Structure 1
Amino acid sequence: MTTSIWLQNMQTTINSSLQESLQTDVCIIGGGLSGIMTAYHLAKAGKSVVLLEGNSFLSGATGHSTGKLTAQHGLVYQTIIEKFGLDAAQLYYELNQKAITAALDLVDSSIIKPATSFLYTTESNNIKKIEDEWDAYKLLHIPGTFGEKCEIPYSSKASVSMLEQAQIHPVRFGQSIMDMAGKAGAKFFEHSRVAHINLSKPYVELENKQTVYCKDLVICSHYPLEAIVGLQLVKLKVNRSYIIAFKCSEPYKGQYLSIDQVGRSIRTVKIDNDYYTLLAGSSQRAGSSSNTNIYYEAIENEAFEKFSADEIDFKWSAQDPETPDLLPYVGQISSGYPNIWLATGFRKWGISNSIVAGQIISDGLLGQSNDGIKLYSPKHTKIGDTLMQALKVGGQTVVDLVGGYMTRSSNPRCTHLGCKTRWNEADETWDCPCHGSRFSKDGSVLEGPAVKPLDL
């Protein structure tokens, strides 16, 4: 397995696993930033809160992100205006911008720092897209600039900036919020994987047969654990991208994202006394390829050729569910289950959207108004193409030569809904292309929605 720069040599908060059944006001499943932010707000408001994580806290999407805290989520605002209207786009920006302000107030400058975000293109036929997004910024009164050149070593044809954004160390940020939530009374249990959810009671059962009974249940587990009301599982597709980090002499002033087909994400960070450039890209459908080394090689070659990197110090990959219409799913799953809440579908922009989600869910549970409740509702979209993808992959008969590990005429089936997994050669994992479950080479669960190990 490869290692994220955020998790390497980190002093992680050690939390015990749950060894007895509990009763609580709110049970939260998922120890990433959205679950932690929700726990923080609810505990501060006086609710009893139990947060369960199947692995280690912050070791999933949060700990494998680029740590960009920004409301600039790609070419999104022109699209939201077209699909949902000007007011919806304005609200989306304001909610994510408020998340940045809140984060700056919560932690000190060693964990978070201001930065300007840029979208850019190196292709002439994409200039119009940048211009259209800039037009959306002007309509929404988003502070920014339109230009051409960027400080990064790519020949930019056009760029648009968003001012007053930020960068964080995502793991240290999450740990700080956990500390505050713990002082407010929240209880955290890691290596406590949920095996079953009862929606009507509600309660959850763990693999070790312990049970958590609750008045309200919040599912922040990156991808919902079960195919429950509303078919959230078949509305989301999961994309995986690849990230490398290498030492550099000085930091960039901004953080960058290419809108081109061969997209790249770039930022710098100071860890201890060294500066590192983070270069990410090569996005592909999770589980769609076995030879994933080619994705690392593509960005590694650029690091050497364009950034004059001496060596690659860290490399890792990350995946995130994506909804069909760009907006995350945050809120009550359905009117029939008013005490079941969901946060997922952040489309690789989970730092700001996790902070937004924590506020939306806690406000909803506490009976407080929040304009984001309607905008982010899980009921706002049509079913995507994931079900068809699941049927196609589940019905395939594939013979894969797994380099350096084993040869199988029949890849193991995911223990979630039975899709055939693919061997990820670079990360040494079994990846499910249907709903994004990941398993280590010995079959143990790394990422859900699966909760049971592979039968190898």
Structure 2
Amino acid sequence: MAESKELPQFPESYWRKTDIESYPKLEEGIKVDVGIVGGGIVGITAAYLLAKQNVKVALIDAGEILNGTTGHTTAKITAQHGLIYDEFIKHFGEEKAKLYYEAQMNAKDFIEEIAKELSIDCEFEEQDAIIYTNSDDYITQLETEKKAYDTLGIESELTDTIPIKAHHKKALIMKKQAQYHPIKFLKVLAEEAVKHGAKFYENTTAIDVEYNKHPAIITRDGHRIICKNVFVASHFPFYDGQGFYPTRMYAERAYVLAIKSKKNYPGGMYITAEEPTRSLRSVKIDGEEAWLVIGENHKTGQGKSTIDHYKALQDFAEAQIGVEEILYRWSAQDLTTLDKLPYIGRISEEEDTVFVATGFRKWGMTNGIVAARVITDIIQGNDNPFSELFSPSRFQADPSLRKFARINADVAKHLIKGKLEFTDQTIKSLSKDDATVTRINGKRAGVYKDQEENFHCVDTTCTHMGCEVEWNSGERTWDCPCHGSRFSYTGEVMEGPAKRPLERIELE
């Protein structure tokens, strides 16, 4: 790869450079004990845990395994999830706040223990996690968070000095956290699950759950996976079970650059307290040290051109670190719940054989492990100390009711706004690798012109709940600002909750 300070033309995750076993498409109906939908950290870990206990498991994924959020993570294994512990103590009490911390640390221990047990070379290494600020407004918040750490018994340090040279005035260190290469770890768990009898199927899209004597997962091709329990581990639940999940979460995107720097990485994992978020960790790429520069959170389908978010990270890296070469760029999407705790457990109070794990708020490396262990314990009738904390049926009056109203007001705003907006740009004036929203035969339409000057035209009405999608220039996708569904430029579903592709429009 030639050295360049320019952004790579196409997004590509470094983690996905690892060779991963491929699996067939499901071509027939099958019967199993547990059907798992989703081939990321949650689904694969659950399949591994269940198969080891001689539970008959089938896992399906709409695309390739480990190519969703898990394949586009920053791969920090930490309980430091922003400034949350003081907030959790206020909203849930000390006991539940401590349970949250213990759940994350148990997940870290699990990864370390399994990596040793299976001799997985996944670059696991212990690192301190550090929130820092260069803003006077956040110094008091860091001091308050430190008091919460002390109350909960979290090993930590409040300091004015950190190893990294980024501008800072105060920092809060959470000791003994970690980082790793997630795909190297999870590909081995997938292989081990298969060795123990689990069946994996790729390019197999689930569209519904049907009930007779037992639940059955229905695929887009009409096949049925009849099972005793269904585990919806598909990031956004493909099946709602009247849990009203689209109204209880919102989707956000974040961006990553992998860079070679003129400076040596000093150790530690870093994140800013203030917005726009800037997060840093190290990684070895082709045997050489590189930096991951992460941040620029925003709601999916909303805000400025997405390529500008990559450029903002590049500007930060140039100013704070010094850039020799930009090796990779990629982005990820995750969901945040009303109260910032994930939803892990029975999908609703009425359906006790269908389980869900979602809403990890960009901290899926630990919460994903927590989810797999909680739900596999419930399925097997084992007690789990964290199951009540994360139950999806909870609904806290503070802060959930206010957020519930705010999220749905935002959805309504974008639903109406999108119906009215379009450009008067003609298709003929489009440059290569660019897109526009226009009207064709009275319909709002999205048109993308590829590198070979072919046009790809879709109806921009999201097939989930009818909001209008917007163009994502950084990833070349159509993204929904209401509930985070994402579609390729040809209209295929890339991320739910939408199940059906955008309607294609033929240009005359």
The TM-score, its normalising length taken from structure 1, stands at 0.96
Partner of 2:316: 302
Partner of 1:88: 96
* Structure 1 residue aligned with 2:71: 63
Pick one of 276, 280, 285 that aligns with 2:294. 280
Question: What's the offset of the Cα at 1:110?
Answer: 3.9
Q: Does structure 1 retain, via aligned residues, the 8 Å contact 2:76–2:178? A: yes
Match of 1:317 among 307, 317, 331: 331
Paired residue secondary structure (2:388): helix
The corresponding residue for 1:291 is 305
Say yes or no: does 1:265 pair with 2:279. yes
1:140 counterpart = 2:152: yes
1:164 counterpart residue number: 176
Match of 1:408 in 2: 438
Deviation of 1:314 after TM superposition, in Å, equals 0.8
Out of 335-344 and 198-207, give the one that drifted further: 198-207
Q: Secondary structure of 2:271's match?
A: strand
Aligned match for 1:251, one of 248, 265, 268: 265
| Residue correspondence of structure 1 range 425-440 to structure 2 within 5 A | 425-440=473-488
- Which of 220, 223, 236 matches 1:210? 223
Listed as ranges, the matches of 1:95-110 within 5 Å are 95-107=103-115, 108-110=120-122
Cα distance in 2 between the residues matched to 1:227 and 1:398 = 30
Post-superposition offset of 1:272: 2.6
Deviation, structure 1 residue 274: 1.5
- Describe how 1:334-353 pairs up with structure 2 within 5 A: 334-353=348-367
Matching residue's letter, 1:242: Y
Is 386-395 or 30-39 further displaced after alignment?
386-395
Tell me which amino acid in the other structure corresponds to 1:217: V
- Within 5 A, what are the aligned runs for 1:106-121? 106-107=114-115, 108-121=120-133
Letter in 1 for 2:422: V
Measured on the aligned residues, the alpha-carbon RMSD in Å equals: 1.6
Deviations 1:183-203 (A, max 9, x none): 221111111111222256411
Which residue of the partner structure matches residue 82 of structure 2? 74
Inter-partner Cα distance in structure 1 for 2:380 and 2:197? 17
**1:228 aligned partner:** 241
**8 A Cα contact 1:290 1:425, kept in partner:** no
Equivalence for 2:490:
442
Q: Is the 8 A contact 2:435 2:471 kept in 1?
A: no
Q: Describe the shift of the 1:252–1:177 C-alpha distance in structure 2 as closer, same or farther (beyond 3 A).
A: farther
What is aligned with 2:381? 367
Tell me which moved more, 392-401 or 177-186.
392-401
Partners of 1:30 and 1:290 in 2: how far apart?
A: 31
Q: Whole-Å Cα distance in 2 between the matches of residues 13 and 258 of structure 1?
A: 37
Residue in 2 aligned with 1:354?
Answer: 368
Q: Distance in 2 between matches of 1:227 and 1:329?
A: 12
Equivalent pairs, count: 455
Q: Which residue of 1 aligns with 2:467?
A: 419
Alignment CA distance shift 1:196-1:414 (3 Å):
same
Q: State how far apart, in whole Å, the 1-side matches of 2:188 and 2:264 are.
A: 27
TM-score, with length taken from structure 2:
0.87
Q: State the secondary structure of the residue aligned to 1:373.
A: coil
Q: Which residue of 2 aligns with 1:241?
A: 254
* 1:197 alignment counterpart: 209
The answer for the alignment partner of 1:181 in structure 2 is 193
Supply the distance in 2 between the matched residues of 1:271 and 1:353 (Cα, whole angstroms): 26
Provide the C-alpha distance between the structure 1 equivalents of 2:354 and 2:246, rounded to a whole number of angstroms. Answer: 15
What SS class does the counterpart of residue 392 from structure 2 fall into? coil
Q: Give the whole-Å Cα distance in 1 for the aligned partners of 2:211 and 2:306.
A: 38
Aligned to 2:412: 391
Distance in 1 (alpha carbons) for counterparts of 2:243 and 2:206: 21
Gaps of 5+ in 2: 1-9, 446-459
Tell me the alpha carbon deviations over residues 192-216 of structure 1, each in whole angstroms, 9 at most, x when there is no partner: 1112222564111111221111110
The CA deviation string for residues 375-414 of structure 1, in whole angstroms up to 9 with x for no partner, is 0000123462433333222223211468723442324111
**Distance in structure 2 (CA, Å) of the matches to 1:408 and 1:28:** 40
8 Å contact from structure 1 (residues 290, 423) kept in 2: no
Structure of higher CA gyration radius: 2
**Following the alignment from structure 2 to structure 1, what is the Cα–Cα distance between the partners of residues 29 and 159?**
58
Distance in 2 between the 1:290 and 1:422 partners? 11
Aligned-residue offset at 1:446: 1.1
Assess if the C-alpha contact under 8 Å between 2:411 and 2:482 holds in 1: yes
Equivalent pair of 1:429/1:440 in contact (CA under 8 Å)? yes
SS at match of 1:115: strand
Identity of aligned residues (%): 34
- 8 Å CA contact 2:251–2:483 kept in 1: the answer is yes
CA distance in 1 between partners of 2:40 and 2:189 (Å): 11
Q: Does the CA-based 8 Å contact 1:289-1:422 persist in structure 2?
A: no
Deviates more, 1:205-214 or 1:356-365: 205-214
Query: CA contact under 8 A between 1:64 and 1:318: conserved in structure 2?
Result: yes
1:387-443 CA deviation, whole Å, 9 max, x = no partner? 333322222321146872344232411112221101111211000112211111111
Cα distance, 1:347 vs. partner? 0.1
Match of 2:340 among 319, 322, 326: 326
Aligned partner letter, 1:5: Y
DSSP 3-state at the match of 1:217: strand
The residue number in structure 1 matching 2:14 is 5
Per-residue CA deviations over 1:213-272 (Å, capped at 9, x if unaligned) read 111011111111144322112100011111111013633310011110221110011123
Shift of 1:286: 0.5
Distance of 1:276 and 1:56 partners within structure 2: 27
Structure 1 residue runs of 4 or more that deviate by more than 4 Å after TM superposition: 400-403
Structure 1 residues 317-358: Cα deviation after superposition (integer angstroms, max 9, x where no partner):
111000111100000122211101000000000000000111
1:346-373 CA-to-partner distances (Å, cap 9, x unmatched) read 0000000000111100011111111111
Higher relative contact order (CA 8 A, sep 6+): 1
* Whole-angstrom CA distance in 1 between matches of 2:211 and 2:329: 39
